[in-house]
Chain A
Amino acid sequence: MITATNLTKIFKDRKRRKSGFRGLVSFGGRSRQGDVRAVDDISFTCKPGAIYALLGANGAGKTTTLRMLATILTPTSGTAQVAGHDIVRAPEQVRRSVGFLSTATALYGRLTAREMVEYFGRLNGMDSGTLRRRVGELFDLLDVGEFADRKCDKLSTGQKQKVSIARTLIHDPPVIMLDEPTLGLDVRAARTIVEFIRDCRKRGKTVVFSTHVMSEVEKLADMVGIIHGGKLLAEGTVEELRHRSGSHDLEDVFIDLLDASEGRTAAEASR
């Protein structure tokens, strides 16, 4: 279960402030000159056994939102409950309950696949017995066996993906967060991820993932949040969103919302 309440993140950018930078409306709103509101007052709920998709263009605030939920970044204001823990007050408990995966979460190249997954198990406080059993299970499930003792540097992209999934699941977290998990992957590796996400839902986990790919959302999401300029523009099931805008194509829904939002911002600015 994830409940985000008024999550906000403002990045201070000294360089921009110095040069009196203005503009770049698409990248978050601005408060003080030069400060960037990457995430602006976002609230939403993800339920166990369901997949929540954060849909948005590049720079919309998806990564920042997920990083805050995973306690990699601290929110400027607002907070969230993740698996019953507060992300601001108990970040370490939150991280114990979360499996976080993104294209930016690489593997340690000089460790073998097994060492890599065991390391994260130990960091989660697992004892050797449990750890060994769990690694065995996951490696069987993901077919890691044949390259389990090869160094991560030597693995193919698909193999790396499987090791990353094992790393994400090693402590059997109730919440899974994925930041653009298929970005830059080939078809086969992307499919592994899609299946992994479905499997997590089947196991009753709370899943939230970010993407800018409409087809992934249509395939997977039980709930969609459309995020733009750091704000959550719309929320609902794919069907609800289609119905609301009277369009069959999710892409049209998305573009309409963006246009409406930008029109609003432009109107606000001209006032």
Chain B
Amino acid sequence: MNRQIWTIYRKEMHETLRDRRTLMSMIVVPMLVIPGLMFGLAELGMKLVKRAVSERATIMVLGEQHAPVLAARLRAHPLLDIVPPRSDYERRIADKEIRAAIEFPPQFESALQGEPPDAKLAVRISYHEGEIRSEHTLRTIEGLLTGYKNEVIAQRLIAHGLSPQALEPFAREERNVAPAERVSGAALGGFIPYIIIILTLTGAMYPAIDLTAGEKERGTIETILASPVSRGALAGGKFLTVLTTAMATALLSLLSLTLSARFTSSGGSEMQPFALNLSAQGVIAMLIIMMPVAVLFSGALLAIALTAKSYKEAQSYVTPLMMVVIMPAVAAMLPGVELNTLLALIPILNVSLVSKELVAGIYDWPVIAVIFSSSCVYAGIALAIAVAFFRRESVLFRT
């Protein structure tokens, strides 16, 4: 029996490694797509933000004659270009011809000097919400206005014989004391297990289909069933093959994540939110916790794909499983979803959540033990179903 499993495993691995589709999902995707997606996108986003921030913005000033001091400051600002006022400024903002418009009420600055101050004075800034460059221009203008407002307040305080410091009785200082891996754990912690779980599934998917529905489609199932191999050994050998590719995908994606994280975190401080501090211990713990999940995926995929008659049919059966896996994996990424006893029993979600903690350097051993053993139970059930299906004529010879 063991020898048969080994013979089948060796042959299936041999054949799987000659299959381009499997190699794609097992090696190419984790090694190229993850770093590309994760850090390429992050860097692109960062660049776009940077460009928007440093770009000169065109604005319109309406009622300039009512605010000579502020108008002069706006004109002097290095990132602002003032164009002559037009009445259709709202359309121009909507059309992104100009980024914003500022409108001063009549006699604005002189009214500020008056006694008593006119409470109804309002400066209106028109901008384009959701447009990052317009929103940034809004903040630039707000900064200028706040500066001017503080000056006016200070003047009034002095006029009433008070020190401007009266408004700021104490200073405030912020300091981050969380260790670096916990910070990255919060930022990226939910994302990493998600990627690893999905890739483990896709890594197992193609070989699982190829080894079951693929055999039926190519007509080799009868050949192998007519050989002296036992159905149990056949299931075992195939299962080990799928498990190997699933684990290889998980391992390669973790490796590629760690490497690309090293690479980008040395890239500069603006990449800090995407920098990743993974300890070797955390990575190993994550791999161990992923093992029963890989068994679960392999067993479930084999059982599902074996019921199909063709590659295509199997793919359409497996797609819903993909959704079933993505849901809990995504749920773990939601802010505020934290591990508790109940969630520790929900497959995939539990592993996703505990991985988030592992990445953050938190090792809650009792919880890890609960999750590992419950995952093993689910894995065992999936594997038992797969083996049972291999023994059923109605599944093997579905008509």
Q: Interface on A for B, CB 8 Å cutoff?
A: 12, 67, 70, 72-74, 92-93, 95-96, 98, 100, 102, 104-111, 115, 119-120, 122-125, 167
Contact = CB atoms under 8 A, between A and B. Distances in A.
A107 B220 contact: yes
Contacts of B15: 108, 110-111
8 nearest A-B residue pairs (beta carbon) = A106-B219, A100-B226, A105-B223, A95-B228, A110-B18, A96-B228, A110-B15, A123-B227
A70 B226 contact: yes
B172 to A, nearest CB: 68
Query: Which label, helix, strand, loop or mixed, suits the secondary structure of the B interface?
Result: helix
Interface in B1-59: 3-4, 7-8, 11, 14-15, 18-19
Contact of B19 (A104, A105, A110, A122): A110
A104 B393 contact: no
B374 to A, nearest CB: 34
B79 interface: no
A92 B226 contact: no
Given A110-B19, A123-B4, 20 more contacts: A12-B394, A67-B222, A70-B226, A72-B222, A72-B226, A73-B393, A73-B397, A100-B222, A105-B220, A106-B219, A109-B218, A110-B15, A111-B11, A115-B14, A119-B11, A123-B7, A123-B8, A124-B228, A125-B3, A125-B228
Interface in B185-244: 218-220, 222-223, 225-230
A120 B223 CA distance: 9
Residue of A12, A100, A123, A167 with most chain B CB atoms under a 10 A cut-off? A123
B220 A74 contact: no
Contacts of A104: 219, 222
A161 B222 CA distance: 15
B228 A92 contact: yes
Contacts of B4: 123
B270 to A, nearest CB: 48
A91 to B, nearest CB: 9
Contacts of B397: 73
A125 B7 CA distance: 10
A92 B227 CA distance: 8
Contacts of B226: 70, 72, 95, 98, 100, 105
Contact of A108 (B7, B220, B228, B394): B220
Residue among B3, B4, B219, B228 facing the most chain A CB atoms (10 A cut-off): B228
Contacts of B8: 123
Interface residues of B, number: 23
A24 to B, nearest CB: 13
B222 A119 contact: no
A102 B221 CA distance: 12
Given A74-B393, A111-B11, A106 B227 contact: no
A264 B19 CA distance: 55
B244 to A, nearest CB: 17
A105 B222 contact: yes
Nearest to A151: B18
Given A73-B393, A110-B19, A120 B14 contact: no
Contacts of A111: 11, 14-15
Contacts of A167: 223
A106 B218 contact: yes
Contacts of A124: 227-228
A95 B227 contact: yes
Interface centre among B218, B223, B394 (most CB of A within 10 A): B223
A136 to B, nearest CB: 20
Interface in B374-399: 393-394, 397
A2 to B, nearest CB: 15
A95 B227 CA distance: 6
A98 B223 CA distance: 12
B22 to A, nearest CB: 11
A42 B397 CA distance: 22
5 contacts: A95-B227, A107-B223, A108-B11, A115-B14, A119-B11
